[in-house]
Amino acid sequence: MTGPDRRLGRIFDEAPDLYDRVRPSYPAELFEDLAALAGIGAGSSVLEVGCGTGQATRPLADLGCSVTAVEPGPGMASLARRNVAGRPNVEVETSTFEEWDERARRFDALVAASAWHWVDPSVGWARARDLLRPGGSVALLSNVVTRRPGEPEVYAATADLHDRYCPGNPNWGHPPLEEEVRAAGPGWGTLERIEDPGPLFEAPTVRFYPHVQWFNGEGFADLLLSVSIYRSLDPDARGALLGAIAERIRTRMGDRVPRRYLAVLRVARRCE
């Protein structure tokens, strides 16, 4: 499996406020299941890798866990600190996971929300196991964009615009059907670019949670502006493309479109 260009992970720090405003969170039920599967709750110590602006940090803290959140982007980390202000059980540290100084700390669980694919797998899995106490668990969260059969979908309605303004981009393509994501989900899956940890962790328990965001044309363009493959485009081409997408949503799609997700939770205990 070809991994992502990890340099793209740094571009989120260019617009932390936009990211915080438009990117999806996760259903509350997911965190209830995470706590039960990982055996964590009040007083448990949790390491969160790649916390972003704190979308998962806050519900983890609200479980009563002591959360150490690591985020490589200074702007994202700063906004995360503001978002968790008033929660004394959270500490946000600015670092990549690979270079982070754990200061001999060990944790009951390691959580990564839509961030683990940015970690170097030659370092990440072994370090995750070493940072967990015996019996500790890793929990990986992701939001996979999906579509429903027969429902208008923004990429399908704007494929000609993508080809006009940014031709030849191999990343353009229709989101998968929800059923396709579920079918690919056993084990560590394939659609979320997660490397298999081998013998370091047990086989994961996998749970799925469908949810949806609704946007007008301007809001959907803002959402795309927070996505790495769009942020990496030439600024002039990107501006023209996003403006054309927003206009098409306004004029041909009733200025109201869904962005459907299947949130995926994978929880696995470390092997002793």
Q: Write the pLDDT tens digit of every residue in 117-140.
A: 999 999 999 999 999 999 999 999
Structural domain includes residue 226: no
Structural domain includes residue 31: yes
CA 149, chain centre distance (Å): 24
H helix intervals, the chain: 16-22, 28-38, 57-62, 74-83, 121-131, 154-165, 178-183, 217-225, 228-231, 235-252
219 or 232: which leads in pLDDT: 219
Looking at every residue in the chain, the average pLDDT score rounds to 92
* 155 has a pLDDT exceeding 60: yes
Residue 1: per-residue pLDDT? 38
CA 115, chain centre distance (Å): 5
What percent of the chain is modeled with pLDDT above 70?
95
Structural domain includes residue 79: yes
Determine the average pLDDT of the residues in 197-226.
96
Number of Cβ atoms within 10 Å of the Cβ of 224: 22
Domains: count for the chain:
1
Please tell me the pTM assigned to this model.
Answer: 0.92
Residue 92: per-residue pLDDT? 98
What whole-number distance in Å separates Cα of residue 129 and Cα of residue 133?
Answer: 8
Q: Write the pLDDT tens digit of every residue in 157-175.
A: 999 999 999 998 877 878 9
Structural domain includes residue 251: no
Worst-scoring range by mean pLDDT, 2-11, 175-184, 209-218?
2-11
Segments forming the whole domain that contains residue 141: 6-148+176-213+261-269
Strand order in the sheet with 90-94: 90-94, 66-71, 45-49, 107-113, 132-146, 257-269, 205-215
CA atoms within 13 A on the CB side of 79: 19
Structural domain includes residue 193: yes
Residue 193: per-residue pLDDT? 76
Structural domain includes residue 233: no
- Residue (of 69, 61, 70) closest to 35 by Cα position: 61
Residue pair 131/107 in contact by the 8 Å Cβ criterion: yes
Please report, for the domain that includes residue 74, its CATH number.
Answer: 3.40.50.150
Q: Write the pLDDT tens digit of every residue in 7-60.
A: 544 677 888 999 999 999 999 999 999 999 999 999 999 999 999 999 999 999
Structural domain includes residue 232: no
What whole-number distance in Å separates Cα of residue 208 and Cα of residue 20?
Answer: 23
Residue 116: per-residue pLDDT? 95
* 181 has a pLDDT exceeding 50: yes
Structural domain includes residue 36: yes
